[in-house]
Structure 1
Amino acid sequence: MAAILKSRIAMPDCASPLAATEVATSIDRAAGARGPFRPEAWLNARQRSAVRLAVYGFRAADIAAVVGLAVLALWSLGSVDPRTVTVAAVLPMAVGTVTALSLLRGLGLYRFGRDGAPLIHLGCVVATGLLATGAAGVVGLLFQDHGLGAVIPWGVATTAALMGLHGLWLGLTTRWRRQGILSPNIVIVGAGRSAEALIERALERRDLNVLGVFDDRLSRTPDHLAGVPVLGPADALPNHRILPYVDRVVLAIDAEAGPRVRELTRRLETLPNPLTVLVGAEAGREAAMARLAEAPLATIGDGGAADRRAFAKRMQDLLIGGLALVLAAPVMAVIAVAIRLDSPGPIFFRQRRHGFNQEAVVVWKFRSMRHAAADATASRQITANDDRVTRVGRFIRATSLDELPQIFNVLTGEMSLVGPRPHAIGMKTGETESALLVAEYAHRHRIKPGMTGWAAIKGSRGPVATEAEVRRRVALDIDYIQRQSFWLDLWIILITVPVLLGDRAAVR
């Protein structure tokens, strides 16, 4: 019975709230119990990373409040008219604003860690308001009371606003932590003594979600290890439905199993998830547990350059994607009417494709093939003069207009404007599944898929008919992931249209 359950929960899955519930239920059923680490809220890695980036929203709200109250204070004195405003009137408010915002960041008040005491946090917010008010007051006195009349009301209002906002931030992060959203989700490969020591220590700390265990030696492995369900062999992990919910894979192997460690490491490095190797007694050490718990999700606001790039990329997607939707709306309406008049069937074609961290996302396109010939798994890739393509379909495929509905995928956060093109789940190159041709294939999923990308503007787009084409596509995608930046994305967006329209050789 245990083997049957393990095989059932190894099926790929779409990362919807209902699917998350199904994954949780399947794991519970396999373990025969709820399990000691089961998080209250099941979010996939993409959704959890979006929560982590919420700190930038927190900071934006603080900036808006502090600057807005300063402008309001100056307006109350009649000092905001650009024709009559003086440096003496504005400078105290400017110094107070800069002081407040600098202290909020400098004191680490955007690092909502599990060990931070709320009263100390709010006390630092009050101190920030007082120091900013004092700095503004000193500058106002130096200019012979110019602008000083607005300093005290601004200081009181700013301190009160920041107290309210940070109280809200603390409440939100406390709730997220209670639900397990801010605790890194891990799976363990290996069901030996090292894995058991890691689980027992994690039970004491309660700062990790151990979702499951995988082990090749199922004949000698129990159905659960210290209450955590054993979900199958290590080879089942790459296609397991739990993978999109995993932040990190931990290889916990006993010290005497050196050759096995090297073999499993080689196999697991092909996953899109980060890999941590803990050997022998290290699995139970405090330092090892601290490293795992200090993953980006553990403390909001301390993610560094990677989080800043992710936030900039998301803002780019929302701003440019929103503008693109407005501009493309009339064109999309015309295409929808043309498809409806050209052939029977729906206007849109929806297909399950791999997204970030192996998440299954439903990608939208305008239907370009006859409805009866739809191929949801891309088992037969498009060819020149393909008899499945409609008259309107030939035009919108040649101009890539069939991809326009993916703007909705971008705005919902499932895709990005720029990234590796999402491939259909189970897509084949010849008679072989494309993902099996290149060991690093899943590395494409370490970032959200895009409407366009580095590979697309370098000529690798459309079907991949040979193993060499798959390898080139994967190599270009990995190259982009390693180089990704705001400015590279912007350049790719700008050059996409002329490159696509000038390409007459690619089959689309």
Structure 2
Amino acid sequence: MKTRDPNSISKIPGKGRGLGLRLSEGLRQVAHPKSGTGPNTQDLANTPEPAEEAKTESTVLSPEALKIAAQLADNAISVPVLKGAVRFTDLLIVFTTGIGSLIATSPASVSIDVAQGMALVFATLAFLASFQVADCYQVPVLRNLLSQQGRILAGWAAVSVLLSVVGVLTGLDQMLSTSWQVSWFASGLIGLLLARSLVYAFVRHWMQNGRLERRAIIVGGGIPAADLIRDLESQPNAGIRICGIFDDRSNDRSPPVVAGYPKLGNMTALVEFARLARIDMLIVSLPLRAERRIVQLLSKLWVLPVEIRLSAHTERVRFRERRTSFIGAIPFVDVIEKPLADWDIVAKRIFDLFFGSLALVVLSPLMLGTVIAIKLDSKGPVLFRQKRFGFNNEVIEILKFRSLYQEMADPDGTRSVTKGDSRVTRVGRFIRKSSIDELPQLFNVLSGSLSLVGPRPHVLHAHTDNITWDDVVDGYFARHKVKPGVTGWAQVNGWRGQVDTPEKIQKRVACDVYYIENWSILFDFKILLLTPFRLYNTKNAF
């Protein structure tokens, strides 16, 4: 389990504690009895607002901001995942053409002897090593067809020559068919060139649509932002696409256009913008010495599922690379990381598809029996559909077995089900206590709107004592930084069922944030294993 250590956040040399540690203390106060899970703003209470900051923040995005957000609605392509997929494809082509050539040139026997097996393994490993050395998996190469195919030809020829030399020196060439080697070289080269042509076509398309670049928003304007933008644009192959600037200050202190990029709104508008657009990174361009102002900004922005970095390119300090990240030669202090990125997303999706499909097969008799029981018990549809909050505050529709009488259904979730609630059917009372009513959400998992494990999706107008939960818990929306789940860390810790006190929702959100901060595949597997046993606790399930 990858527990995040606050001390791992970048520290800046100077007086007292490092900036990273101080920001950590200001932003990572989880399950505080008064402020819930959000940033600790107690130290900011007496901090005066900048004179130029707007006193009233509008949540309405400008037409220009809405237009840009619409252009960024598609998900970006993860570069590490792209590189890994291309490597795997190359490996598959080399190995399958080797096997195919062996079968084609040895019709009498398709078995692989020791010499042929050694040649296959050696050639495959040498091939991958030569392509790695030749930078065949770098995006600038992948988007250049001639450069890519030239490197493929040179690398494949080098591997073939190396295989021949090793064969002569070890005597393996006497045991390997020349026709097999020639056939393998030709078919392998053709397969690789064709595959790389397809890769080039896809990469070119993604580049034209801006999906192979990390999308960044600059937080803060003026001269610091202009200097940062110019430095970023001067970095070769930085892979950063600047999508706009957001700043709370008025136009007389922060120009509406900085280095050719428009200012799209204030911090409240930025949160709304990031809900609509697929943004990867927020870069705060304020000087590191403006620590209180930085914490004020981060206290609003930490709920977003994006990386947040502080620009340190103008600071007169020397950085250790292990304590900072770099885009080109520009240093940044990493404050908040994306909860799931690159191969983590792929691994979690494979986990969901495998165990979700398995659960559907195993539980299908139970689900079929539930369908029959509901139809016999009361009139109306078997399934109940409800709008709930999903990843990044997107509204999704989840499925449940209907447990209320049809005429008393509450699709908006304005009234919680309580103990002895007359709206609940006889069958509904049992399936709610046992959580069988949640099983149709396995279809949501397969469709991708839910994950098997994650914070439970809440109804849109969830409230306690007529106070919405985002008002009860500071940083409530941070639980939407990952996909919601069918089960979660809060549920296996007993926080399920009715939420009738502020403490219950605070505890739930604290568990959700803990899960997000400490996610791993093993953690998901642990929660999945614990779920059936923790369902015996039906104290709060009505």
Task: Please classify the TM superposition score into its range, dividing by the shorter chain length.
Answer: 0.7 to 0.9
Name which of 497, 502, 505 aligns with 1:470. Answer: 505
Q: 2:189 is matched with which residue: 134, 155, 159?
A: 159
In the alignment of these two chains, the number of paired residues is 467
Per-residue deviation, 1:433: 1.8
Task: Tell me the TM-score normalised to structure 2 length.
Answer: 0.73
Please list the CA deviations of residues 303-341 of structure 1 after superposition, one character each: whole Å capped at 9, or x if unmatched. 9x9533332222222222233333444443443444344
Is 1:73 matched with 2:101? Answer: yes
Contact persistence 2:356–2:445 (CA under 8 A): yes
CA contact (8 A) 2:247 2:265 kept: yes
Query: Is 1:506 aligned to 2:540, yes or no?
Result: yes
Identity, % of aligned positions = 32
After superposition, residues 415-494 of structure 1 pair within 5 angstroms as: 415-494=450-529
Q: 2:128 aligns with which of 79, 86, 101?
A: 101
Question: Counterpart of 1:143 in structure 2: which amino acid?
Answer: L
Shift of 1:85: 4.4
Does the aligned pair in 2 maintain the 1:39–1:180 contact within 8 Å?
Answer: no
Residue matched to 2:436: 401
Matched, 1:64 2:98: no
Please state how far the C-alpha of 1:87 moved relative to its aligned partner: 1.0
Distance in 2 of aligned mates of 1:247 and 1:427: 29
Q: Structure with the greater relative contact order (CA < 8 A, sep ≥ 6): 1 or 2? A: 2
| Unaligned stretches of 5+ residues in structure 1 | 11-25, 296-302
1:357 aligned residue: 392
Distance in 2 (CA, whole Å) between partners of 1:369 and 1:59 is 52
5 Å matches for 1:227-246? Answer: 230-239=263-272, 242-243=275-276, 245-246=278-279
Instruction: Quote the offset at 1:161 in angstroms.
Output: 0.9
State the alpha-carbon separation in 2 of the partners of residues 201 and 463 from structure 1.
53
Contact 1:93-1:151 within 8 A present in 2 as well:
no
- Please identify, of 383-392 and 73-82, the stretch whose mean Cα deviation from structure 2 is larger: 73-82
Once residues 295 and 152 of structure 2 are traced to their aligned partners in structure 1, the CA distance between those partners, rounded to angstroms, is 50
2:176 to 123, 147, 164: 147
Query: By how many angstroms is 1:127 displaced?
Result: 2.5
* Candidates 378, 395, 415, aligned match of 1:380: 415
Q: How does 1:248-267 map to 2 (within 5 A)?
A: 248-253=281-286, 259-267=292-300
Contact 1:422 1:450 in 2 (8 A): yes
RMSD: 3.9
In structure 2, what is the Cα distance between the partners aligned to 1:94 and 1:432? Answer: 64
SS in 1 for 2:97: helix
**Correspondence 1:14-93 to 2 at 5 A:** 27-28=63-64, 40=71, 42-43=73-74, 47-48=75-76, 53-78=81-106, 85-93=112-120
Q: Which residue of 2 aligns with 1:133?
A: 160
Aligned residue in 2 for 1:225: 257
| Paired letter, 2:197 | G
Shift of 1:55: 4.2
Q: Confirm or deny: 8 A CA contact 1:247 1:273 kept in the other structure.
A: yes
Asked if the contact 2:408/2:423 (under 8 Å) is kept, the reply is yes
Could you tell me how far 1:79 is from its partner in structure 2? 8.8
> Deviations along 1:337-375, whole A, 9 cap, x unmatched?
443444444433333333333333322222322344444
User: Deviation of residue 169 (structure 1)?
Assistant: 1.3
Q: What CA deviation, in whole Å up to 9, does each residue of 1:105-154 have, x standing for no partner?
A: 55443332489644333222223322332344345442252123312211
Are the counterparts in 1 of residues 464 and 502 from structure 2 also a CA contact under 8 Å?
A: yes
Query: What letter matches 2:351 in structure 1?
Result: Q
Per-residue CA distance 1:16-74 (angstroms, 9 max, x = gap): xxxxxxxxxx743x68xx66xx785621xxx3367863444433333332222222223
CA contact (8 A) 2:455 2:484 kept: yes
The amino acid across from 1:161 in the alignment is G
2:384 aligned counterpart, secondary structure: strand
Provide the residue aligned with 1:366 in structure 2.
Answer: 401
Cα distance in 2 for residues equivalent to 1:415 and 1:104: 38
* Equivalent AA in structure 1 for residue 443 of structure 2: F
Aligned-partner Cα distance in 2 for 1:477–1:433 = 18
**Would you tell me which structure has more helix in proportion to its own residues?**
1
Cα contact 2:213–2:241 (8 A) shared by 1: yes
Local SS of the residue matching 2:428? helix
Relative to structure 1, the CA distance from residue 257 to residue 455 in structure 2 (aligned partners, 3 Å threshold; closer, same or farther) is closer
Q: Residues 338 and 113 (structure 1 numbering): CA distance in 2 closer, same or farther, change over 3 Å?
A: farther
Counterparts in 2 of 1:204 and 1:101: CA distance versus 1, 3 Å:
closer
Q: Deviations over 1:421-445 (max 9, x none)?
A: 2222342233222223333433323
Residues 184 and 89 of structure 1, relative CA distance in 2, 3 Å threshold:
closer
1:70/1:93 contact within 8 Å kept: yes
2:218 aligned with 1:185, yes or no? no
TM-score (norm 1): 0.77
From 245, 248, 260, give the equivalent of 1:216. Answer: 248
Task: Report the alpha carbon displacement of residue 176 of structure 1 after superposing the two structures with TM.
Answer: 0.7
Distance 1:135 1:257, change over 3 A: closer
Amino acid in the other structure paired with 1:225 = V
Q: Which amino acid aligns with 2:195?
A: L
Gaps of at least 5 residues in structure 2 are 1-53, 316-324
After superposition, the Cα gap between the structure-2 partners of 1:261 and 1:384, relative to the gap in structure 1 and judged at 3 Å, is same
Residues 60-112 of structure 1: CA deviation (Å, up to 9, x unaligned): 33333222222222323549979x64312322122212322344455443332
Residue 71 of structure 1 aligns to a residue whose secondary structure is helix
Partner Cα distance (2:350, 2:332) in 1 = 26
**Whole-Å separation in 2 of the counterparts to 1:343 and 1:221:** 65
Asked if the contact 1:250–1:277 (Cα under 8 Å) also holds between the matched residues in 2, the reply is: yes
Query: What is the identity, as a one-letter code, of the residue corresponding to 1:442?
Result: F
